Amino acid sequence: MDLLELLGVFGGLALFLHGMQMMSAGLEAAAGGQMKAVLERLTSNPLMGILIGTLITTAVQSSSATTVMVVGFVNAGMMTLNQAVWIIMGANVGKTTTGLLIAMDVGALAPVVAFAGVALMVFVKKPGLQHIGQLLAGLGILFLGMDMMSAAMEPLRNVPAFVHLMATLSNPLLGITFGALFTALIQSSAASIGILQTLAAAGAVEFSSSVYILFGQNIGTCITAVMASFGVNRDAKRATCVHILFNVIGTVIFTAVVMIFPLTGLIEELVPGPMGQIAVMHVVFNLATTVLLFPFGGYLARLATRILPDTEQPTQKDGMRLFYLTPVAAGGREGGLGVSAIVVDQLRSELRRMLEMARQNVDASFKAVMDRDTSPLERVDSREQYIDYLNREISRYISQLISIETNERGSQIVSSLFSISGNIERIGDHADNLAGYTRMLEEKDIPLSDFARQELNQMRDISLRAMSALLSSEAGTPNWLAQVAQVEQKIDDMTRQFQQSQLARMREGVCSDEACILYSELLTDFERIGDHVLNIAQELTKAQIPL
């Protein structure tokens, strides 16, 4: 094999992988959120879960993408480990379609498909059609890369060193190890199986030897899910473990079957051509493993739990930690189908938690001022530090997510969540200011009139009402926004009304200078809380999502 042929192999592989990435990105942009919703809602029935996993993986041509979504759902608490088992089984069945397409030699249409996709991307202005064009262009480029690799690999059958290497891989253990390592290296079972098919078509590897490499490739494809599981919760790691167990068990069973029974010979007799034979063996492997393990899905989940038992959750400094998100310092996130949609749900869960902390601080701070009680202030200060920590971590996370977001709507949602985090943090600051007034009242022995105490109680009630509205399931709808805007206007009206009442008390001489200054500052914080609540409501409506 000369240098030009070697470059042809690498060039073809580059086109194949780029085509896969383009397909995934195009589908993510066109329908990532919808696929997330389908996975989230239709997994309670085992058979339905397998079917959905199969269909989505067939559409995206990547079991890794589907499994990464599943790991994210389990981590976010939107899917149980038992539900994840069925999706993973379906993903393993769905990934076999790439090999079938390659075996059907649809590569002859690759230039037409690629041209159609590029034409949609360049000449059509509608974003939805551009995303479909990206998907088609990726598909065409994928098969162009496959044809290029096939042509470049044909001379390998005459290279003694390569022939010897392929002969050693007829050993089951070596073949499985090679297939697993190679697939883990390029992180694409579709690409590695496609390469195996081109080698077989070029006569560089016998079908009887290729089956062991094929089994190993099914194990190697788990590497992407393993990488996605770094830093996630225990159940999400168990979902990855189920994926590995499925393929390892299938490999053990089929290795024994191939060594004992003439399965490869039967397939060679029934299926013409080595590319088709590898594709059929891939289908048989995953379909049969799914059928065999279907009755034991619950046991797979239990086995994964025994392998990865519960451990004490790690915490950040001072006990602070993210409950739903992986800290960026722990490795961050990679892009891919469904990943951003998953992280949006995780962000919303983290923001709800942050908002609840801010609401508790507003409640406790108003009560502390009314009662001139400094005992709750330590807890208020602790929660305020936690709110600041969450804002920093969420902001860092969102800045990374923006770099992998691939569609306009997703970018808008992420931007809105970034703004919401900042507004919640500012509400926390105003609650902390209120807590500080309690210390001033206590230290300087400043009295508050009964009228001021009554007004403070009204401020507290409407502030909590406004913040509770942000947690409504109707959040993000225009009618809901109008209701929140009315509450915010009420806060503004109350602020003006209470300022007038304060002036009247000053004229009557029943309000000390220090009390007046402090009360004016307090009214400013009260009014600003309403402003930030309305800002959050507007961002939720812009994103058309509840928190």
- Other residues' Cβ atoms within 10 Å of the Cβ of residue 374: 15
Residue 328 — very low, low, confident or very high, per pLDDT cuts 50/70/90?
very low
- Confidence check: pLDDT of 210 > 50: yes
- Of 124 and 143, the one with more pLDDT: 124
340-343: list long-range contacts, CB under 8 Å, 24+ apart.
Answer: 340/28, 340/32, 340/401, 340/404, 340/405, 340/406, 340/410, 340/414, 341/32, 341/33, 341/35, 341/36, 341/69, 341/410, 342/36, 342/69, 342/72, 342/73, 342/75, 342/76, 343/72, 343/397, 343/401
Whether residue 28 contacts residue 46, with contact meaning beta carbons closer than 8 Å, is answered with: no
Instruction: Clarify whether residues 404 and 514 are in a common domain.
Output: yes
- Confidence band of 135 (pLDDT split at 50, 70, 90): confident
pLDDT tens by residue, 67-84: 777 776 776 666 788 888
Per-residue pLDDT at 333 exceeds 50: no
> Does residue 318 lie within any of the structural domains?
no
In a domain, 30, yes or no: yes
- When mean pLDDT is compared over 42-51, 116-125, 223-232, the highest value belongs to 116-125
Question: Can you tell me the distance from the alpha carbon of 166 to that of 205, in angstroms, rounded to the nearest whole number?
Answer: 6
User: Residue 77, Cβ neighbours under 10 Å: how many?
Assistant: 15
Q: Phi-psi region for residue 37, left (φ > 0), alpha (ψ -120 to 50) or beta?
A: alpha
Coil/strand/helix, residue 407: coil
Is the pLDDT assigned to residue 247 strictly greater than 80? yes
**Are 372 and 470 in the same domain?**
yes
Select from 60, 52, 61 the least CA-distant residue to 79. Answer: 52
Same domain, 23 and 147: yes
Residue 235 in any domain: the answer is yes
In 3D, which of 405, 264, 233 has the Cα closest to residue 336? 405
Q: Is 363 helix (H, G, I), strand (E, B) or coil?
A: helix
Asked whether residue 106 is assigned to any structural domain, the reply reads yes
The model's pLDDT over 401-415, given as tens digits with 9 standing for 90+, comes to 776 555 566 778 888
Q: Is the predicted pLDDT of residue 40 greater than 80, yes or no?
A: no
CA–CA dist 263, 158 (Å, integer): 28
Q: What pLDDT score does 334 carry? A: 45
Residue 102 or 359, more confident: 359
The secondary structure of 156-167 as a DSSP string is: GGG-HHHHHHHH
* Domain assignment present for 312: no
CA 309, 315, 319, 322 torsion-angle sign: negative
CATH of the domain at 345: 1.20.58.220
Least confident interval from 15-24, 117-126, 493-502: 15-24
Q: What is the pLDDT of residue 223?
A: 80
Side chain identity, residue 536 = I
Looking at the predicted structure, is the pLDDT value of residue 294 above 80? yes
By percentage, how much of the chain surpasses pLDDT 70? 81
> Which two tokens mark 42?
């239709």
Asked whether the CA dihedral 126, 130, 131, 133 is positive or negative, the reply is positive
Tokens of 43: 């997994």
Q: Kindly report which listed range (54-63, 110-119, 443-452) carries the lowest average pLDDT score.
A: 54-63
Query: Token pair for residue 296?
Result: 């034991």
What is the DSSP track for 466-531? HHHHTT-TTTTSHHHHHHHHHHHHHHHHHHHHHHHHHHHHHHHT-S-HHHHHHHHHHHHHHHHHHH
Residue type, 448: L
Confidence band of 125 (pLDDT split at 50, 70, 90): confident
**pLDDT mean across residues, the chain:** 81
Same structural domain, 237 and 136:
yes
d(CA 181, CA 172): 14
Kindly state whether residue 420 falls inside one of the protein's structural domains. yes
- Model confidence at 42, pLDDT cuts 50, 70, 90, reads low
**Judgement on whether residues 281 and 349 belong to the same structural domain of the protein:** no
CA distance 259 to 45: 36
Number of structural domains, the chain? Answer: 2
In a domain, 131, yes or no: yes
Stretch 234-243: mean pLDDT, rounded? 86
Read off the amino acid at residue 193: I
423 shares its domain with 504: yes
Q: Which residues, other chains included, contact 194 with Cβ-Cβ below 8 Å and sequence gap of 6+?
A: 16, 98, 99, 102, 146, 149
**Residue 341 pLDDT class (50, 70, 90 cuts):** low
- Span 476-492, pLDDT tens digits: 888 999 999 999 999 99
State how far the Cα of 347 lies from the Cα of 160, in Å rounded to an integer: 56
How high is the pLDDT of residue 250? 93
CB 520 within 8 A of CB 495: no
Are the beta carbons of 176 and 215 closer than 8 angstroms? yes
Range with lowest mean pLDDT among 209-218, 299-308, 439-448, 488-497: 439-448
Look at residue 422 in the predicted model and tell me its pLDDT.
94
Q: Give CA–CA dist 193/42, Å, rounded.
A: 30
HSE-CB at 134 with a 13 A cutoff on CA atoms is 23
pLDDT at 335: 45
The CA distance from 128 to 507, in Å, is 65
Q: Give the C-alpha separation, 284 to 110, whole Å.
A: 27
The answer to whether residues 13 and 78 belong to one domain is: yes
pLDDT digits (tens, 9 = 90+) for 161-206: 766 776 677 889 999 998 898 888 776 777 778 788 878 887 778 8
> Do 278 and 421 lie in a common domain?
no
Residue 104 and residue 135 in one domain = yes
Is residue 232 within a helix (H) or strand (E), and if so which, with residue range? Answer: none
Are both 377 and 341 inside the same structural domain? yes
302 & 334 share domain: no
The residue with greater pLDDT, 142 or 228, is 142
Whole-model pTM: value is 0.61
Supply the DSSP string of 315-336, one letter for each residue. Answer: --GGG---SSS--GGGT-----
Measure the CA–CA gap between 85 and 47, rounded to whole angstroms.
Answer: 11
> What is the residue range of 140's domain?
3-307
- Does the pLDDT at position 96 exceed 90? no
DSSP state of 177: H
72 and 192 housed in the same domain: yes
* Burial class of residue 253, CB neighbours in 10 A (0-12, 13-18, 19+): middle
Comparing 89 with 188, the larger pLDDT belongs to 89
CA-nearest of 73, 67, 91 to 36 is: 73
